[in-house]
Structure 1
Amino acid sequence: MRPNDPPQPLATLMVATCNVLNLANPGRMFYQNQDPYSAAEFERKLNWLGERLRMLNADVLAVQEVWDEAAFKGALGRSGLRYDFVAVPGAENDAERHGAQGTPRVGIATRLKVEALQSFPDFPPDLQVEVPGLGPHTRFERPPLVATLRMKHGQTLNVLTAHLKSKRPKFLQDAQGNPTEDRDDHKVMALASLRSLVMRGSEAMALRCLIIDLLHRTNIPLVVLGDFNDTPDSVTTQLICATNEIAYDRSARDVALFNAYDLQGEATLKKDVAYSHIHQGSPSVLDQILVSEEFMATGRNSVGDVRRVDYFNDHLHEGRDRTRSDHGFVRALLRLKMPPATPQSPP
């Protein structure tokens, strides 16, 4: 643009990520060691979550830990908001399908037009990592979900929802779920924690490969949201983002990701409130929103920016209650340049 040209108008897009903590239908067993929700608990959970979703008022809502798509739709109904598209692949509820089995799934709700939606359960064919005592790790525990969306002014973007392996120790067990090693042995505990790290690291690597496929030599912006079960400065998050390579290779921006929190405008409040989880009294950011270079305001290929990132985490101080969530919700206000108006032909 020339110095005297008017600024190009921007369209706004609100995106948010929510770990909803085992959102399942009442009376339905989701984990063997946890009681199903009673009807009263389920009502409280839907009402609480519906109120939080109403506050977020996001155009694109990425969710994790959904066991039943019907329960997620119920929570959206309690919010009073309208979403034209809702999907939690692998957690559908109908005559043949009865929600997620074994592990919860990720999903999306959006007001935007959905042009494509794909779940990725498997790692790339040539990628597998040996996990001590378990053998090759070749699949995501919670398959990431990629949606291609179109905004009302015509801009296209890809949105990826992810939920990586937790840090919870991965103990060996038999086919019936009974432990096959001494969980009170501190050395066994260390090995079980290593298994979780290897699994999360391999999932981060597989997710990185998927991100490269979405970004390489394209100008379609990408937003990655979810529960990474690790902090922004962790090895796994840095593996996913690959921003360190930019210092040595400018072309690496093409496939890099940036934390939206770091890109937001200078006038925003950044200190003290930026955490989404509390473990043993220590706050940390596990739920993150990452964006491609197209959202860098001064980037060579910029098509927008990050206006603001908000953390909704007051409920983390209200005590442990499974009808709420043990994660804070993170929301980002993004802006994209509107396509130039097409000149009308004279009559």
Structure 2
Amino acid sequence: MTPSPSPALAPDTLTVATCNLLNLALPEREFYANQTPYTQAQYTRKIQWLGGRFQALNADILAVQEVWDQAALMDALAASGLHYHFASVPGAENTEGRPGAMGTPRVGLATRLKVLATRSFSDFPAGLGQPIPGLGIHTRFERPPLVATLQMKRGQILTVLTCHLKSKRPKFLLDAAGNPLEDRDNPKIAALASLRSLVMRGVEATALRCLVIDLLRHTRMPLVVMGDFNDTPDSVTTQMISAASEVAYDRKARDRALFNAFDLLGDAALKKDVAYSHIHQGAPAVLDQILVSEEFDPRSRHAVGDVRRVDYFNDHLHEGRDRSRSDHGFVRALLRMRAPAPGSGIGDLSADLDAAGTFEQSTGGA
């Protein structure tokens, strides 16, 4: 008798979330020269609020942005009552006499999954730097993206990239002490300052695209890219990073493209009037995004999973501006991944971070 085939194992679920934490810093420490440090009471209130949000998200992977002190993130995770055995914010460490991030906050990751490798990228590929009017050549990420290789309980391996691109806020020139060198009330100078931010965000998007290509090309490793893009899904910078539009006329481009998790939900999804993560001057927009590789697109022959739902935790954006909360909504996606078939070798995959050979590894403090 021919033995009957083994029943297919049900796919495992995986929740991922991206959270801009709005200047998460320890109490009584200066982070921006023009902002008052948190008092102990303000810090406690912020930690409790974040702990409640993390508990509501209950994500297996948290991609976080705007962290000045890794110790503060640990406090917020502890306040959630959830167990994350790994949390890291490269460049914002508070151990061995390190003072946390300096100059600009950092991105990080917290997860319940097994961590196989992490790497923080600070420098752009050689030759990619671009001149910024009045600032010189922009050659490094202001907030280095973090790449992690993670493993689920049944052996599924995926790569997660956390990013935070330059904001649209005008980049005015300052002296070494942080004093303004330009007339901010001059509309022409303000336009030039906005151009600086645009060029910086554009070249950061290009560098991030190069990193994505290196992580995706010639591999079936699923990739999730999360973070604060400081631009909308249809913007030039986001499209540059994802390159999803290339798929329409080049099917081979799927191998190096990313897809917005929200778009993969299909027409039946509840999408109207709830999908935004930031409000600027009364206008809602999606700046915080979750992008996935074709391995999560059921239309792909290389699919190993799919996107079940995407939720926007944004009610607090209507509660008034308060730095104990965040000025961004948090975005969570529920993914599914099949376990690798016995003998398939899929479970032996590991992210080849050295494939991104044109990048230098960050050692913190960039």
Cross-structure match for 1:252: 253
Distance in 2, Cα, partners of 1:217 & 1:341: 22
Native 8 Å contact 1:18 1:62 kept in 2? yes
Secondary structure of 2:49 counterpart: helix
1:9 and 1:337 in contact (8 A); partners too = yes
CA deviation digits over 1:274-306, x for unaligned, max 9? 000000000000000000000001212111000
Q: Whole-Å Cα distance in 1 between the matches of residues 320 and 29 of structure 2?
A: 24
- Aligned partner of 2:70: which letter? E
Q: Distance in 2 between matches of 1:45 and 1:252?
A: 43
User: Residue in 2 aligned with 1:234?
Assistant: 235
Q: 1:160 aligns to what SS in structure 2?
A: strand
- What number of residue pairs does the alignment pair up? 339
- Residue 268 of structure 1 and its aligned partner are, at CA, apart by 3.1
* Alignment-derived partner of residue 125 in structure 2: 124
Report the Cα distance in structure 2 between the residues aligned to 1:6 and 1:272, rounded to whole angstroms.
41
The answer for the alignment partner of 1:56 in structure 2 is: 57
Matched, 1:179 2:183: no
Number of the residue aligned with 1:299: 300
User: Which whole-Å CA distance do the structure 2 matches of 1:248 and 1:37 have between them?
Assistant: 52
Tell whether the 8 Å contact from 1:222 to 1:292 is kept in structure 2 after alignment: yes
Q: Does 1:195 align with 2:196?
A: yes
- State how far apart, in whole Å, the 1-side matches of 2:174 and 2:33 are: 14
Contact 1:165–1:200 (8 Å) recurs in 2: yes
SS of residue paired to 1:142: coil
Give the letter for the 1:329 counterpart. Answer: F
**Structure-2 residue corresponding to 1:43:** 44
Alpha-carbon distance in 1 for matches of 2:323, 2:231: 22
Bigger RCO (CA 8 Å, 6+ sep):
2
1:74-93 to structure 2, matched below 5 A, reads 74-93=75-94
Match of residue 345 from structure 1: none
SS in 2 for 1:149: strand
> 1:8: Cα distance to partner?
4.8
Percent same amino acid among aligned pairs? 71
| Contact map agreement 1:63 1:106 (CA 8 A) in 2 | yes
Q: Residue 249 of structure 1: CA displacement?
A: 1.2
Partner-residue secondary structure (3-state), 1:244: helix
Distance (whole Å) between structure 2 residues aligned to residue 281 and residue 294 of structure 1: 37
Kept after mapping to 2: 8 A contact 1:26/1:42: yes
Match of 1:280 in 2: 281
C-alpha distance in 2 between matches for 1:323 and 1:302: 41
**After the TM superposition, which residues 6-17 of structure 1 pair with which residues of structure 2 at under 5 Å, given as runs?**
8-17=9-18
- 5 Å matches for 1:313-328? 313-328=314-329
**Partner deviation per Cα, 1:100-154 (whole Å, 9 max, x = no partner):** 0000000000000100000001101121111111111000000000000011110
| Unmatched tracts of structure 2, length 5 or more | 344-366
1:21 alignment partner in structure 2: 22
Moved more, 243-252 or 285-294: 243-252
What is aligned with 2:150? Answer: 149
Distance 2:165 2:189 in 1: 23
**One-letter code aligned to 1:237:** T
> Equivalent residue of 2:204, what SS?
helix
1:209-250 CA-partner distances (Å, limit 9, x unpaired):
000000001000000000000000000000000011112211
Residue number in structure 2 paired with 1:67 = 68
Structure 1 unaligned spans of 5+ = 343-347
- The residue type paired with residue 163 of structure 1 is H
Q: TM-score, normalised by structure 2?
A: 0.91
Distance 1:316 1:173 in 2: 31
One-letter code aligned to 1:179: P
CA distance in 1, matches of 2:240, 2:223: 17
Contact 1:106 1:145 (C-alpha < 8 Å) held by counterparts: yes
CA RMSD of aligned residues (A): 1.3
* Matched AA of 2:225: V
Deviant stretches of 4+, over 6 Å: none
Q: Which residue of 2 aligns with 1:208?
A: 209
Hey, what's the Cα distance between the residues in 2 that align with 1:83 and 1:268?
30
Distance 1:322 1:157 in 2: 34
Q: Distance in 1 between matches of 2:132 and 2:250?
A: 33
Supply the distance in 2 between the matched residues of 1:171 and 1:93 (Cα, whole angstroms): 30
- Higher alpha-carbon deviation: 17-26 or 87-96: 87-96
Q: Please name the residue that 2:35 is paired with.
A: 34
Q: Is the 8 A contact 1:265 1:306 kept in 2?
A: no
Distance 1:185 1:113 in 2: 52
The answer for the alignment partner of 1:329 in structure 2 is: 330
Partner residue in 1 for 2:359: none
Task: After superposing the two structures, state which structure 1 stretch, 261-270 or 234-243, moved more.
Answer: 261-270
- Distance (Å, rounded) in 2 between the aligned partners of 1:61 and 1:282: 26
How far apart in 1 are the matches of 2:218 and 2:88?
29
In structure 1, distance between residues paired with 2:149 and 2:113: 10
Secondary structure of the residue aligned to 1:140 is coil
Please state whether the residue corresponding to 1:233 is helix, strand or coil: coil
Secondary structure class of the residue paired with 1:47:
helix
TM (norm. structure 1) is: 0.96
- Residue 16 of structure 1 deviates from its aligned partner by 0.2
